[in-house]
Amino acid sequence: MNYNKKTIYDVDVKGKKVLLRCDFNVPQNKETGEITSDKRIVAAIPTIKYLLENGAAVISCSHLGKPKGEWKTKLTLAPVAERLSQLLGQEVIFASDIIGEDAQAKAAALQPGQIMLLENLRFDIREEKNGADFAKALADMADLFVSDAFGTVHRAHASTAGVAAYLPAYSGLLVNKELSIMGKALDDPKRPFVAVLGGAKVSDKINVINNLLEKADTIIIGGGMAYTFKKAQGYEIGTSLLEADRLDYAKEMVEKAAAKGVKFLLPVDNLCAAEFSAEAEPVLVEGNIPENLMGMDIGPKTVELFAEAVKGAGTIVWNGPMGVFEFDKFAGGTKAMAKALAESGAVTIVGGGDSAAAVEKLGFADKITHISTGGGASLEFLEGKELPGVACLLDK
């Protein structure tokens, strides 16, 4: 897949109406609707400012939550328009519909240097179905399309891919950053290239491991998925997470790594517990895990082994926590990994979702080269999959 896409710097936006897909899917207080983190809104500001300062009229759009084609008052983007107005220091005109009379009238009247926001795209069932008529109606309001919502580029929706059939499509600054950093890490990494993979399930990471075996020098496996690998190697894993239908695959991956000369590291000790609970007492176990215990985190010897493996790395990609990091007693492995990445001196990339949350929660975010803004998107990126919302953009 070609990651070298035209950006907003490659087009004259003066006097143009720009349909800008943002990721304003922000967390909100369920009772009050108040935005609890505006990080995603803040992340869109550089692209918006560039467009406005260079004479474009911006028609921004996003989804929020999962309304499944129904108009749900709780999922309106009105609070986002308000917050965006504050951040930009100018009015964000809000349309009470998506492609209806209000949106069309406001888009038609929009002047250069002005910005508007359409109502929640997913209030219309055709958004997620990539309905051609819906995509065309969105496109008809603008002269060009800019994609700046990396968190949704793995979806072939009307606003992420469909509109590109009707408008020239460019990448925004956020998407461009993701593509250049992650694309380079996969296509031309500074070596040694170390991949650190965690999280609960092997099945979620099958294609990632497969793809990275072709590229990485070392693969480190932690988290719940490590126990399926340990079981495949003949170890007892007690009541730890196990995907029995993936045992053959796990075995095959270890053999494939050996054949390719890729180091494949698994935990050598674990912090275990008798039950899956934040209050459970940690029990340190080396080798076989007793039948009444489950693995909850990597142990100190494993921490040392993994930290040593990332020490001399040129590029490190990390996706998925090392243990049940949301329980303080079992967050040590994930914390140690974040610290090892922060101190490695390598180009460090943390794929979205839980690992990004962990790095931020643990206070290492400013020491990481790049934290991806997309969970599912960064995972599919690591799998080497074609991302519909990227494939539709103009090549450089």
* pLDDT averaged per 10 residues, the chain (length 396): 92 98 94 90 97 98 96 96 98 98 98 98 98 98 97 95 98 94 86 94 87 94 96 97 96 96 97 97 97 98 97 93 94 93 93 79 89 80 88 96
**Token pair 């803004």 in the structure block, residue:** 373
Chain centroid to CA 34: 23
The verdict on residue 393 lying in a domain is: no
Which pLDDT score is estimated for 358? 81
Judgement on whether residues 252 and 215 belong to the same structural domain of the protein: yes
Judgement on whether residues 318 and 356 belong to the same structural domain of the protein: yes
Which pLDDT score is estimated for 249? 95
Which pLDDT score is estimated for 238? 97
Rounded to two decimals, the pTM is: 0.84
Residues whose CB falls within 8 Å of the CB of residue 146, separated by 6 or more in sequence, listed in order:
8, 18, 19, 20, 21, 47, 51, 169, 170, 171, 172
Judgement on whether residues 34 and 126 belong to the same structural domain of the protein: yes
Residue range of the domain that includes 82: 8-174
Judgement on whether residues 139 and 277 belong to the same structural domain of the protein: no
Asked which of 158, 174, 190 is the last residue of a domain, the reply is 174
Which pLDDT score is estimated for 217? 97
Judgement on whether residues 195 and 282 belong to the same structural domain of the protein: yes
Residues known to be catalytic: 40, 201, 353, 376
Judgement on whether residues 217 and 356 belong to the same structural domain of the protein: yes
Instruction: Say if residue 287 is exposed, middle or buried (CB neighbours under 10 Å; 0-12, 13-18, 19+).
Output: exposed
Which pLDDT score is estimated for 73? 93
The verdict on residue 355 lying in a domain is: yes
Q: Which domain CATH number covers 207?
A: 3.40.50.1260
Judgement on whether residues 88 and 130 belong to the same structural domain of the protein: yes
